[in-house]
Structure 1
Amino acid sequence: MSLTNAGLWNDEGVSQRTVAANGLEFPVLEAGEGPLVLCLHGFPDHARSWTPLLRRLADQGYRAVAPTMRGYWPGGAAPDGRYGGSALGQDVLALIAALGRDTAHLVGHDIGARAAYSAASLEPDRIGKLVGLAVPYGPRLLTAFVADGDQQRRSWYMFYFQTPLAELSVPLDDFAFIDRLWREWSPSYVLSDAERARLKASLAQPGVLTQTFGFYRQLFGAPPEDPAIQALEARANGPINVPSLYLHGAEDGCMAAYLSEGMEELFPKGLEREIVPRAGHFLHLERPDEVGTRILGFLGRS
């Protein structure tokens, strides 16, 4: 595992380079020095949305790193074909090692939250603290996809992504599909034109849409045939023995906030769960000061 192409990009104290880990060359954004905090993005999003939090973490004495998740760049197709939770968790653990650390704190949003949960389930000794945003943990969520009409309505896009029509329709009319998701998921927030254009450009790169759909297609697909992968997936869905914080926007149009109720029993080392008022799915962008303060307070507490 190695670091390459350091310093290719700089935006007010946030630099970009490539980190070789787990068979992939991950583009990462980073800022600061100190204890490592990995910030993991979801869909339809990219690492840039963590920029405000990266700067704030750096100002408070952390080394903050936001990797691009597997599948989200042209060369980022899963080398093993896997986009399930255990693969995401293995990426996170490999990135910690590639960044020269034994342990790290994790902050994950949406699919990034799933990656954080998986890493902490697989190797809790390598995770200091965990913060999950917008996607709860545990079997209640999967049950909701098949038995909860409200969540099925919210998750319509996941079912649509199972079809080949998705690759054709999502880019139409300047990614109007993506605009709709952001509008429905965060009804009180409007992403700036400049950042919206950057996000769409990242999704328009060759192969990226099909690769990112892999997360959803494997979520609802047949279980892996390899018994070793089956066992790994089971471990990646076990109890999380890491002190954890969970934040969910009260106005989230993607995931129902009530699905996070009862998560505490899956976190033997403790879980603090909060519903953030006046925030939707992208709460780290909608309420950056409030969410950032809550994350920093949690990470800094002994």
Structure 2
Amino acid sequence: MTARFVRANGLRFAYREQGPADGPLALCLHGFPDTPATFRHLLPALADAGFHAVAPWSRGYPPTDVPADKRIDPDTLTADVNALHRAFGGSRDAVLVGHDWGAIAAMRAAAAAPERWRRLVTLAVPPERVLAGVAGDGRQLARSRYALAALVPGADHRLAAGDAAGYVRLWKRWSPGYEPTEDDLAPLKAAVRSPGAGRAMVAYYRGFAPAVLRRRALSPRVTLPPQPHLVLHGRQDGCIGVEWAERAEGRLPHPASRTVIIDDAGHFLHLEQPERVARLTLGHLLARGTAAAVD
């Protein structure tokens, strides 16, 4: 799939797409350190189900523009997602799929503009309101030390050194049962080699930290998406412990929302268990009204 380009929220976004152009928009948002390549199993499944499946490179990940700003904050990501909805002519039937940082962006965009998005699926990051208690969890703070390291000057150079060895270590730590392939890593390494990209990738954490201090992130007051919401999490996730995803069950507003833990999977569950993730995702996104996802 060749990258195409669209302008949204003041940037030129690169994206890949599959499926009928007149189908309902299914916007798939990747995380850190990642690219749309990891949706290579899910995009065809969405397309076959009739969705216009679109996976953009997120802000700061080439070939999407690298913004001049040194900080990328949650509010900007929210605006990006809803601007992409407009750019792709999305209707009220549009849906969201987000992994990692893409999950945060998807949840915030769905909460900010519920009239735009019918349903959403998020992978590997529970709702921020659920994560509000992580400060008291020593095990989770140890898992999250990478986020603090990203705040240290020069973090982007250290992660990219040695053919992106730092990024590869994160992949292996977060998905301990999965060996990333060249299909996973080659697009990431290509993005990192672009001028300013490494800085932009860690800027997500530098922009999130002030939001935490302003109590605009990781707070019980962060608005939860009101739509039917499927939360998927790998049982062996080495980035965010499965116990935090389990706490989301029963705390999501819509009665059709649910949390599903995927066995034999870590942080990159859509690569580790692609068939089950696709089945659950489609079961949820194709349901109507208050129907829950079916496994």
TM-score under structure 2 normalisation? 0.89
Partner of 2:3: 16
The 2-side partners of 1:194 and 1:208 are apart by 19
Map 1:92-241; keep pairs closer than 5 Å: 92-103=81-92, 104-144=94-134, 146-221=135-210, 237-241=222-226
| Matches of 1:233 and 1:188, distance apart in 2 | 29
> 1:7 aligns to what?
none
Q: Is the 8 A contact 1:253 1:281 kept in 2?
A: yes
Q: Which residue in 1 is equivalent to 2:293?
A: none
Cα separation, 1, equivalents of 2:35 and 2:236: 21
Shift of 1:201: 1.5
Residue 30 (1) aligns with residue 17 (2): yes
Deviation at 1:32, TM superposition (A): 0.6
Aligned partners of 1:113 and 1:190: how far apart in 2? 23
The answer to whether the 8 A contact 1:74-1:208 is kept is no
**Whole-Å separation in 2 of the counterparts to 1:116 and 1:189:** 25
Percent identity over the alignment? Answer: 40
Q: Tell me the CA shift for residue 71 of structure 1.
A: 1.2
The equivalent residue for 2:243 is: 258
Q: Which residue pairs with 1:69 in the alignment? A: 58
Q: Distance in 2 between matches of 1:198 and 1:74?
A: 10
The Cα shift of 1:126 comes to 0.7
The secondary structure found in structure 2 opposite 1:238 is coil
Using a 3 Å threshold, how does the CA distance of structure 1 residues 281 and 222 change in structure 2: closer, same or farther?
closer
In structure 1, the residue matched to 2:291 is none
Offset at 1:300? 1.1
Is the contact made by 1:86 and 1:119 (CA closer than 8 Å) also made in structure 2? Answer: no
Contact preservation (8 Å) 1:247, 1:276? yes
Deviations 1:254-293 (CA, angstroms, capped at 9, x unpaired):
1111112332324245421010000000000110011001
Change (3 A) 1:194 1:62: closer
Partner-residue secondary structure (3-state), 2:162: helix
Deviations 1:177-196 (A, max 9, x none): 11111111111111113432
Instruction: Determine the structure 2 residue equivalent to 1:5.
Output: none
**Contact 2:107 2:224 survives alignment (8 Å):** no
TM-score, normalization by structure 1: 0.87
CA RMSD of aligned residues (A): 2.4
- Superposition deviation, residue 60 in structure 1: 1.5
Unaligned runs of 5+ in 1: 1-9
Distance 2:133 2:62 in 1: 31
Deviation at 1:222, TM superposition (A): 6.1
